Structure 1
Amino acid sequence: MPSSEETPTVMLVDDEEIALASLRGLFTLETDYEILAFDNPVEALEETRRRPVDLVICDYLMPQMTGIETLKKMREIQPDMVRVLLTGFADKENTIRAINELDLFQYLEKPWDNQQLLLVVERGLQQRSLRRQLLEKIEELDRLLEEHRDLAERHSALERELEMAARVQRSLLPESMPEFNGLRFTGFYQPCHEIGGDYYGICARDDRATLLVADVSGHGIQAALTSMLMKAIFEEVERNAEAPADLVERMNEALHRFLPSGMYACGTLARMDAEPGRIRLVNAGLPHPFVLRARERRLDQIPIAGMPLGIFGPGGPASFDSTEIELAPGDVLLLTSDGIGDVQRAGAPDELFQDRRMKEVLESLAGRSGEEVIEKLISEAREFSGGGPIPDDISMVAVTRA
């Protein structure tokens, strides 16, 4: 049940009368929001069951129940409500641990800065409005796709439309992969349906090249739209981000602003510069990269992890591991989405390609070119599945040093 678009409803919950009066006075004087103020979290919960609320500001320490408990219950009642937590400095550690559970938009320490609080609320309401609009469009497109699937056998036009959409999505991928400073790039992409959510791209400049392999949550039109957003954000942010870690942080902030609740994107980023063979890697939720060492005939897996993009905004606990590697001549760096590893063995669906067979294949390919590595890996995955359906989109890029 959406609240009024003209007048946002903001709920204030704080058991301290002075703090509650200060909050109510601030928003009454500075905004035209409809203000609901409660000194009892139980009564505030009851109110959320009766009417829609756009944003809630809740104190952490209250006698009836904590702010974390209150916001958890409010999220169950109104999942789209923007949640802001006020906390004393002593509560900061507990608050940070709870952010993942609460999907907080922001938390602020007492005493708060009035202008900062007003700005946080304004941005929270803007994000809620954008998320709602995007979600409505995505849901509308998904409904259309479902209707089309029911009519697929009788309506050949659907197949033509889907093929056109697939061509549009394929156009997001590079037509050709450039060479940079002795490095050769080979890409592969295969959606599990007509259109999918994986993406890879490269931005090559005179002094650097930046490679991204990404996997958006979900499938179909919803994921395809998000992959288009991912491409646009990557190409825009890459222009001015000198450090790869900074690039990933800025992509995370942008995706957090625009993606609807529950959606996210995973990615691995590789930055190459003028020093031959040196590659800086940052991971955000994709499988660990592989390096096939030509001289040693050895397979290395680079243990870098990281949280998916778009889940937490600025100030949240998002973290992205980074490292630096050196490719010797003949070495191959392989970045993949999780689709190739999730291929199931024919007749034994609990056994995945990544469990054992994938590493065996890669170990045998050390010393081969990136093109050969990808071709053989795909061939072995198809044989492993017995020619069965691929459960997820597959994308990968191999970087070979000449």
Structure 2
Amino acid sequence: MNILIKSAKIIDPSNEELHSKKRDVLIKNGIIVAISPKIEEEKGTKVVQAKNLHLSNGWFDSGIAFGEPGFEERETIANGLLTAAKGGFTDIVLNPNTHPVPDTSSDIVFLRNRANGHACNLYPLGTLTMNGSGKDLAELYDMKNAGAVGFYDFKHPVENANLLKIGLQYTQNFGGLVFSFPLDTSIYHKGVANEGAISTKLGLRGIPAMAEELQVARDLFILEYTGGKLHIPTISTANSVKLIAEGKKKGLDVSCSVAIHNLFYTDNVLEEFDTRYKVLPPLRTKSDTKALIRAVKDGTIDFVTTDHTPMDVEQKRVEFDNAAYGTIGIENSFGILNQLFDLDTTISLLTNGRERFGLLSPELKEGKNACLTLFNSAEEYVFNDEHINSTSKNSMFLGSMLKGKALGIICNDQCII
């Protein structure tokens, strides 16, 4: 396929030669063959042009859930990857939120095979423990060889400290990345919202910030003892930021992420008991949100994730206490981040992070594979149902004013616009 992108403003802060310049980009058979102020259209070439067209390296998300196998009613791999592509993502890390969970090499091969032929690339995580039960380590080495980019019992903490210790020690032999969800279940005790004035007022069981911070402190202490590579997904409190910053100063090989919704919303939105806002970790306070945004800017938080978690309507349209955790977020990530940060920072956040998972970052250069995201940086609109491509519709961002919209991607010799 031959594709000509016309007059796109390139956003690539790492590329001084092209950053903020308007260029035509010619792609032939998936390879960037020319980047120039003006390229003449050739017969049989697909021309891509749009108002306020912007272009960057392809976007990456370190934590997305779909459903297949087992929960196809939430999201299939095929529709999930199409949704990600329309949302601007060329590469996603798939959380092990399925039934059964991927805890063997054959499970990882199945997921990779299901993703073959799509414009958006899928990189699966395997579970850290067998069946995700937290009792015995899974086939980590075999899963790594099959293509797993990390090991995570999705949204379940590693309660057994010795198990985390052994996991960190064992994975050093092959450079494996261990995830540890930051939640002390003895303090969490089936909470449903941030413990504070709002949860007390509404009569909701609280999840103290301490439940997250104790687990972070414990995990960092174990990491300091064992070595290895640790990733702490979706932190949500100011003190978690401080603990991780201290760990990094000690030279620990630790990374962390934050969910976009924990940067944008606080627990004040729970006043109407709307289950769209029930997520784990929960929405916290304004002071936490400010600390998280500062940490993103100074690099303490390594990357931002949509934490996209589709749930069927039966699990959301129930009482708040009984509702499932999770919100979708692929379709609106750019429009949220573009309000919180300047454009260069937003694009850096959306393109960084691959190296942590052992993946190569795309390059916007002639002779390189085209792995590009197209977007409009200025369009303002109210996010509603018509903007959702996911099978599930459990978005807490419905009704929000967004600034900026992803138009699609060019990747794997495919154009999804």
- TM-score, normalized by the shorter chain, greater than 0.5: no
Rg larger in 1 or in 2? 1
* Bigger RCO of structures 1 and 2 (CA < 8 A, at least 6 apart): 2
Q: Please state which structure has a larger fraction of its residues in helix.
A: 1
TM-score of the pair, normalised by structure 1 = 0.27
